[in-house]
Amino acid sequence: MNTPFQLRSAVPLAGLLLLAACSNNAATNSGNNAAGTNQAQDAAAKTSTFTAAKGCKNIAVMLPESDSSARYEAYDRPLLEQEIKRALPGATIQYANANNNADTQQNQADAALTKGACIMVVDPNDSDKASVIVQKAKASNVPVIAYDRLIQDPDIAYYVSFDNVRVGQLQGQYILDQFQKGNYELKPGAKLVMINGSQTDNNALQFREGAMNALQPAVSDKRLNLVFDQYTPNWDNGRAQSLMEGILTQQRNDVDVAYVANDGMANTVIAALRSQKLNGKVLVTGQDATLTGIQNILIGDQAMTIYKPIVKEAQVTAQLVAALSNGTDPGSVVNGKTALKGGGEVPSALVTPIAVDKTNVASTVIADGFLTKDQVCSGLPTGAGGVCN
Ligand code: BGC
């Protein structure tokens, strides 16, 4: 059987490198308009700084966890392994998953260096703490590519991700559009709750920032009544459910919109809503276009998700790994710079996220082979979401 990532990656690489349009958000991504020559110079500097990378075939791939989203083991791991081996023939991969523990991740990084890793791809469990990993790698002249989540360290070689402020903006704008259309019986004063991701994940901060860019005006003039706004440590899905249960009790079931940062937490928030027969009545957002998320959309319990074509993220990462190893300029793969909170910027490759609801599941997630129609329709009633027949 073809797995979704195999189907997707059959599409030629060149056609996939549709990188993010320039972000105008100065707080997060800046310098996207910088001249290509500067980026080429930066790239050349990288390859001469990280001398251990030259000719390197021993690549460490380190992911943060597997509990909060289905993406890591289902997509990121196999895609990174496949794409790195394709871009850099002869490459071997040392894979490690930190299981939601920053100390574990640090130990895994030490172990990888001891075993000769000479280029590291690290999706940090904690965006600040992972700086130690970058510094230890640097001491061995080994470059670290921050993958998906930013590492707050000026010495990372590259940052590869989606435009994460844009992710939040798409989620927030979706809520606003539904409000303006009067869908979900939304009226002025509608109660909004925000269940955000983990505060130690820089992405979670950017998702909330983007969402607030869209929602703040409506919150300020009381069209939306923001009654709850919290981060969820470790993106813990069970914790999101208890938060929602508590909110429903406190608000006497009077909640209209649940901004939920990803599909894993959205699914448990929906479980809390189901037990009060409020599923489908409350607008719930998500992210990751997981199988469960898409099925929740098709049965009407979740309004939307964000589809992030992880295959592109993995391919861009693989290109950067190959460029570092070959000592070549990665060229237009690097399409911007990302500001660090302590000052400075890192060269970045940001891919464009896509908002998905039942109207475009077929033309995005299914058309791309990210999920197959058989997968999403399995167990759903005929006609679900206008997609399953
Ligand atoms: C990722 C999301 C994921 C979340 C929880 C974020 O850093 O970008 O795709 O849902 O972590 O794992």
| Ligand 1 mutation target, pool 28, 62, 66, 68, most atoms within 8 A of CB | 68
| Ligand 1 mutation target, pool 69, 237, 306, 311, most atoms within 8 A of CB | 69
For residue 343, the 8-state DSSP code is S
For the chain, the domains span: 4-163+310-351, 164-307+355-379
**Any atom of ligand 1 within 6 Å of the Cβ of 236:** no
Confidence of residue 223 (pLDDT cuts 50, 70, 90): very high
Looking at the CA of residue 167, tell me the nearest atom of ligand 1: 8
Least reliable range by pLDDT among 35-39, 334-338, 349-353: 35-39
Looking at the CA of residue 264, tell me the nearest atom of ligand 1: 10
Question: Distance (Å, rounded) from C-alpha 86 to C-alpha 132?
Answer: 30
Q: What is the pTM of this model?
A: 0.90
Q: CATH topology of 4-163+310-351 equal to that of 164-307+355-379?
A: yes
For 249: left if phi > 0, alpha if psi spans -120 to 50, otherwise beta; the answer is alpha
Pick the CATH number of 164-307+355-379 from 3.10.450.50, 3.40.190.10, 3.40.50.720, 3.40.50.2300: 3.40.50.2300
What is the side-by-side strand order in the sheet with 92-97?
Answer: 29-30, 336-339, 345-351, 158-162, 144-147, 119-122, 58-63, 92-97
For residue 338, pLDDT over 60 is answered with: yes
pLDDT per residue over 161-219, tens digit each?
999 999 999 999 999 999 999 999 999 999 999 999 999 999 999 999 999 999 999 99
Mean confidence (pLDDT) of the chain: 90
Question: Distance (Å, rounded) from C-alpha 77 to C-alpha 235?
Answer: 19
pLDDT per residue over 70-122, tens digit each?
899 999 999 999 999 999 999 999 999 999 999 999 999 999 999 999 999 99
Ligand 1 midpoint to CA 15 (Å): 25
Class in CATH terms, 4-163+310-351: alpha beta
- Of all protein residues, whose CA lies closest to atom 9 belonging to ligand 1? 288
Residue percentage of the chain with pLDDT more than 70: 88
The pair of structure tokens assigned to 220 is 């300020």
Confidence of residue 125 (pLDDT cuts 50, 70, 90): very high
Question: Distance (Å, rounded) from C-alpha 41 to C-alpha 31?
Answer: 15
